[in-house]
Amino acid sequence: MSKRFMENLFFQSLRSKQIAVTVVSLTLFVAITALVLYEGTQKSVTLQVNGEELEVKTHAHTVGHLLSEQEIEVTEHDLVTPSVNTSIEDGLSIRWEQSKQVAIQVNRESASIWTTSRTVEEALVEAGIEITEYDDVSPGLSEQLGKDNNITVQKAFEVTLNDGGEETKVWSTSTTVADFLKRENIQLNEDDRLNRKADGYLKPGSLVEVVRVEKVTDVVEEPANFAIETRNDPSLLKGQQKIVQEGKKGTVSRKFEIVKENGKEVSRKLLAEKVIAKPQKKIVTVGSKVMVASASMKKSGVGVSRSNSDAPSGGQEFYVTATAYTAYCNGCSGVTKTGINLRSNPDLKVIAVDPSIIPLGSKVWVEGYGYAIAGDTGGAIKGMKIDLHVPTKNAAYKFGRRQVKMKVID
């Protein structure tokens, strides 16, 4: 080849390369210009995805289109604000919260909801479950929903607690008596008892009664009563008594086991007894002597004479209020305090007296009645009063009530 030909080939190759470079440069310029123009038409929006905020530039026309661009699949329970059909505008703020299924168990009932709530409390509010301060919620109300998305609610109910006699109303979520006592920090002593079994179930309105049982030992000194010995004394009138020896109480030491329930004594058991001082018995003699009265009274005599001509000399004299009675009066047995049978001997002269004024067995003289014996007593005969025995009711009515003079002879 000639030198000139070689030069032509070189310049031809160089020209081709220049053209290629020019074409590439032009293409790159067009592409960059188009890119700049494309980017310049994008809109800037704020996108919150499950609480995380992103700045996004997009040519999407709607919120739904934008979420698809970001490979976010929206389900029917998800929260999208504004709605997926909203047109994209520059500066728009979009929020997407992905829904999750939450299982909620309230006592023994279970349910599930789809929710975009972040905390346990928000989920319960969305589910329409009202929570009180006494309810037991797990996880806690302020806790974030966990991976398992399970919520357990134990609804509190009112229980009546009677501890040692003190009654209170308590809100509880315990299902058994034992758990209830544990939560209320109630300790049972060895002898304390419950009104129901510890493993028994509780329900609204249940009564849990704790009876506090206390056993104590008490030693006391107590008086020991003396015995009374009676002896027959034929020298005393029947019905009369005489103390020969005064009784004297002894002293005994007794040891008791005392059981108290809620502070009140319910039983007392004697454990031991020891005599410290023996008692001295009382000895009383009882009269057995039967009075004998005369029957010298005339049938017409009572109350006829008020003369004192037959009054004896000597003796203790005083005035008394006198009435009359028969052996057949209401409540009368017919036998006097001293053992005289007036029904068998209706004409005997016997008067009823107050023994503290006129001793039983005394011989007396009564104005208008004559000589008699103080052989009876009466419930109404107190002080300066006497009651004269007469054979008939007519005689008693005739005598009436009088102020009479009388003498105690012996």
Q: DSSP characters for 367-380?
A: TTTEEEEEEE--TT
Domain at 215-288: CATH architecture: Single Sheet (2.20)
The predicted-structure confidence for 311-370, as pLDDT tens digits, reads as follows 787 788 999 999 999 999 887 888 998 888 999 888 899 999 999 999 988 899 999 899
Find the largest Cα–Cα distance for the chain. Answer: 216
What is the distance of C-alpha 61 from the center of its chain? 74
For 168, 313, 346, the CA distances from 204, given in Å and listed in that order, are 14, 97, 84
Q: Are 185 and 231 in contact (CB under 8 A)?
A: no
Which CATH number applies to 43-97: 3.30.70.270, 2.30.33.40, 3.30.70.2190, 3.10.20.30?
3.10.20.30
Q: What is the pLDDT of residue 273?
A: 92
For 171, 241, 275, 281, the CA distances from 246, given in Å and listed in that order, are 68, 13, 20, 7
* Domain covering 291-408 in this structure, CATH number: 2.40.40.10
Token output for 325: 């009675």
Q: How confident is the model at residue 262 (pLDDT cuts 50, 70, 90)?
A: very high
pLDDT higher than 80, residue 381: yes
What average pLDDT does range 57-85 have in this prediction?
86
Domain at 157-211: CATH architecture: Roll (3.10)
Query: Domain ranges in the chain?
Result: 43-97, 100-154, 157-211, 215-288, 291-408
Q: Are 102 and 145 in contact (CB under 8 A)?
A: yes
Q: What is the pLDDT of residue 77?
A: 85
What integer best gives the mean pLDDT of the chain? 85
pTM of the model: 0.49
pLDDT higher than 80, residue 25: no
Q: Which residue, chain included where needed, has tokens 């004409």?
A: 347
Do domains 157-211 and 215-288 share one topology? The answer is no
Residue 241: CA atoms inside 13 Å, Cβ hemisphere, count? Answer: 10
